């Protein structure tokens, strides 16, 4: 028994602010637009009458949204988010509120119930289910957004882990003189430049950059490092490790890459410019 009562109390707390907002909005609408002929009441009595009018909607909001949904939540076949439950809830709120409001107007407010009056009653009673539907859709989108944010964090974490593992792999640079062959971690190679019949490999060594000349062509080196996607040619004389690229800068009509901690700007040819704009976007 206590468990059922606690569930009802929790549902009421969860929805109370929403119910009060809806009924307050309807109260102000009826007060200012006066859709029903209740001039026979004095001002204070009119306010009390209008409070009773919107209290009807509040009561049925509680009965349907709290009590009905607490019963539905125990079903193995239905849940609060199913289309059928939403549809039934909306119909119940509309029909029960409209019928109760019509009786209230007729026997408490002594208002003659005409087709036009019933049209206004139904219109007013249609507002709560519509407001609830908008609220539910907003909450659903908010949950989806939170879920997507969580998934994004997970994916980014995996990407960072992959990048870290990837940067710790080694790449071998071959020279025409085999004794000059050497290996480096991918995460240490910042830049590869052409130097006549040699290739200059600029790599991180602690907090500074070091250089290594090997006898080979940039084209052959590019072929050797082709499996490693973060090495990208930016100029006919240069290949950079995008991991080290800080930004793309421009001076007049010329574009340059700024390498973290490296003083010399690296030129970017027009044919590679768009690719680097995509990478650094």
pLDDT in tens, 59-77: 999 888 888 777 776 555 4
Do 133 and 190 fall into the same domain?
Answer: no
> Quick one: pLDDT at residue 51?
92
Do 175 and 255 fall into the same domain?
Answer: yes
> Is 163 a member of any domain?
no
> Is 100 a member of any domain?
yes
Do 129 and 6 fall into the same domain?
Answer: yes
> Quick one: pLDDT at residue 74?
58
> Quick one: pLDDT at residue 86?
80
> Is 149 a member of any domain?
no
Look up the domain containing 218 and give its range: 170-279
> Quick one: pLDDT at residue 53?
92
Tell me the C-alpha distance between 57 and 62, whole Å: 9
Do 178 and 76 fall into the same domain?
Answer: no
Do 175 and 273 fall into the same domain?
Answer: yes
Distance in angstroms between the alpha carbons of the first and the last residue of the chain? 59
Do 117 and 20 fall into the same domain?
Answer: yes
pTM of the model: 0.59
> Is 38 a member of any domain?
yes
Q: Which of the residues in the chain have pLDDT under 50?
A: 77
> Quick one: pLDDT at residue 82?
65
Q: 154-183 pLDDT, tens per residue?
A: 887 777 776 666 777 888 888 877 777 888
Residue 245 belongs to a domain with what CATH number?
2.40.50.1020
Do 8 and 117 fall into the same domain?
Answer: yes
> Quick one: pLDDT at residue 232?
92
Do 44 and 109 fall into the same domain?
Answer: yes
* Total tally of structural domains belonging to the chain: 2
Do 77 and 179 fall into the same domain?
Answer: no
Do 76 and 182 fall into the same domain?
Answer: no
Q: 209-222 pLDDT, tens per residue?
A: 999 989 899 999 99
Do 114 and 224 fall into the same domain?
Answer: no
Do 101 and 195 fall into the same domain?
Answer: no
């Amino acid at each position: 028994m206590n468990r059922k009562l606690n569930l009802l109390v929790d549902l009421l707390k969860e929805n109370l602010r929403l119910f009060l907002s809806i009924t307050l909005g309807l109260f102000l609408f009826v007060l200012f637009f006066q859709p029903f002929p209740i001039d026979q009441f004095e001002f204070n009595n009119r306010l009390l009458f209008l409070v009773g009018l919107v209290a009807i909607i509040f009561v049925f909001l509680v009965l349907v949204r709290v009590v009905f949904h607490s019963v539905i939540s125990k079903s193995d076949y239905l849940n609060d988010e199913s289309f059928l439950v939403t549809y039934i809830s909306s119909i119940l709120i509309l029909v029960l509120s409209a019928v109760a409001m019509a009786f209230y107007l007729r026997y408490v407010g002594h208002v003659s119930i005409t087709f036009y009056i019933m049209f206004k009653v139904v219109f007013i009673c249609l507002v709560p289910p519509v407001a609830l539907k908008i609220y539910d859709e907003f909450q659903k989108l908010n949950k989806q957004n939170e879920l997507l944010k969580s998934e994004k964090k997970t994916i980014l974490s995996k990407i960072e882990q992959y990048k870290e593992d990837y940067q710790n792999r080694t790449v071998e640079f071959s020279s025409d003189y085999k004794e000059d062959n050497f290996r480096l971690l991918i995460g240490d190679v910042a830049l590869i430049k052409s130097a006549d019949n040699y290739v200059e490999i600029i790599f991180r060594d602690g907090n500074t950059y070091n250089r290594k000349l090997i006898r080979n062509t940039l084209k052959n080196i590019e072929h050797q490092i082709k499996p490693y996607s973060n090495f990208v040619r930016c100029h006919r004389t240069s290949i950079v490790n995008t991991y080290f690229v800080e930004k793309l800068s421009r001076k007049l009509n010329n574009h340059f890459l700024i390498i973290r901690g490296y003083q010399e700007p690296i030129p970017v040819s027009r044919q590679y410019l768009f690719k680097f704009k995509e990478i650094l976007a």
